[in-house]
């Protein structure tokens, strides 16, 4: 998306506003990598990524008249994508309690490795680690989950998260604090159960 410097975004937007369907198609093609990256990072379980991407693009077209150009258009679309993902996470029913015994074998091994102070996660277990991170994130509130994912997994700065979500930095810090406290509690409970 961003690599495609030849794409005339301003001109395309003008044509889309003039109800040019071909321009709308080009705009979707142009922004798809940006949107799908956000969707894949924050996709709730049991939601198809294509459905969510479609919902984001339809919201984008519906709200196009509200875009005043104060921020670059891709940033504006990113914010729609992030808020749509949060809405989906909110709509998702709460998962049952996280239990070590319910984990697949490879994820249980990863959890064993990270809770043991010395053992390191094997490089070939990174996919299982990613799955496990997803399970743990499911235990957090959608907004807290979003913050911790952006901070820790995507390693974004507070300013970047603020631009992406529209939340001020104090709120982001509060949400990160709450998420980390919950994660700490979760690990403590897991260790306690595993020890007993």
Let me know: does 115 contact 192? Beta carbons within 8 Å.
no
- Site for another protein, residues 84 to 103, rule: CB under 8 A: none
Please give the C-alpha separations between residue 9 and each of 35, 55, 137, in angstroms, as whole numbers: 16, 21, 36
38 versus 89: smaller Cβ distance to another protein: 38
Q: Provide the 3-class DSSP secondary structure of residue 44.
A: coil
Q: Does 152 bind another protein (CB under 8 A)?
A: yes
35 three-state secondary structure: helix
Q: Distance between CA atoms of 181 and 2, rounded to whole angstroms?
A: 37
Segment 21-60, which members bind another protein (CB under 8 A)? 21-22, 24-29, 32-33, 36-37, 40, 50, 53-54, 57-58
Residue 173 found at the interface with another protein (CB under 8 A): yes
168 is a contact residue toward another protein (CB under 8 A): no
Min separation Cβ 37 and another protein, Å: 7
Sign of CA dihedral 95, 101, 103, 107: positive
For another protein, the closer CB: 90 or 181: 181
129, 146, 150, 164: which one contacts another protein (CB under 8 A)? 129
Closest CB 89 distance from another protein, rounded Å: 18
Please say which residue, 82 or 132, places its beta carbon nearer to another protein: 132
The answer to whether 169 and 162 are in contact (CB under 8 A) is yes
Residue number with CB closer to another protein (153 or 163): 153
Tell me how crowded residue 39 is: count the other CB atoms within 10 A of its CB: 24
């Amino acid at each position: 998306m961003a690599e495609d410097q030849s794409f005339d975004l301003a001109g395309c937007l003008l044509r889309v506003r003039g109800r040019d369907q071909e321009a709308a198609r080009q705009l979707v093609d142009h922004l798809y990598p940006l949107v799908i990256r956000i969707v894949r990072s924050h996709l709730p379980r049991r939601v198809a990524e294509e459905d969510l991407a479609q919902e984001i693009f339809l919201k984008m077209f519906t709200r196009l008249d509200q875009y005043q150009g104060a921020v670059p258009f891709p940033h504006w679309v990113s914010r729609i994508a992030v808020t749509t993902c949060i809405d989906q996470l909110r709509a998702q029913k709460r998962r049952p309690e996280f239990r070590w015994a319910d984990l697949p074998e490879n994820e249980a091994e990863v959890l064993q490795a990270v809770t043991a102070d010395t053992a390191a996660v094997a490089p070939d277990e990174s996919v299982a680690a990613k799955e496990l991170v997803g399970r743990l994130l499911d235990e957090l509130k959608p907004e807290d989950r979003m913050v911790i994912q952006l901070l820790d997994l995507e390693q974004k700065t507070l300013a970047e998260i603020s631009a992406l979500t529209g939340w001020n930095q104090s709120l982001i810090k509060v949400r990160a604090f709450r998420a980390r406290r919950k994660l700490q509690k979760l690990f403590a409970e897991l260790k306690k159960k595993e020890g007993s």
